[in-house]
Amino acid sequence: MPHRRLHLLAYDIASPARLRRALHTVRAHAVGGQKSAHECFLTEAERHALLARLRRLIHPRADRVLALRLDPRLGQRSLGIARPPADGPFLIVG
């Protein structure tokens, strides 16, 4: 089974239609997040596929996408009523 790593995906999309499509695309993989920043447990293949889909959705001069692989050695901190992301024994994508 491929190893999943926690990533933070954030975007700034100028067009409401492109924003809606980007939101649905990223939320299909998200385990947490808010508005335009999402936590996703992804394999390398899933990360490449997700970024390729986002590249087809965005306008390169007007929109921005940021994908960060988070260091697993660092502890997770939740603020307020947030819950830390959990990589359970299985993940449903869809």
Binding-site residues, in ranges, read 12
Binding-site residues for Mg(2+), in ranges, read 12
What are the residues whose beta carbons fall under 8 Å from the beta carbon of 29, sequence distance 6 or more? 38, 40, 41, 42, 46, 50, 93
pLDDT the model gives residue 3: 86
pLDDT the model gives residue 32: 79
71 vs 5: CA distance, rounded Å: 9
- Note the pTM of the prediction, 2 decimals: 0.74
pLDDT average, residue stretch 7-36: 90
39-73 pLDDT per residue, tens: 899 999 999 999 999 999 999 999 999 999 988 78
3 state DSSP class of 5: strand
pLDDT the model gives residue 23: 92
CATH topology of domain 5-69: Alpha-Beta Plaits (3.30.70)
Domain definitions of the chain by residue range: 5-69
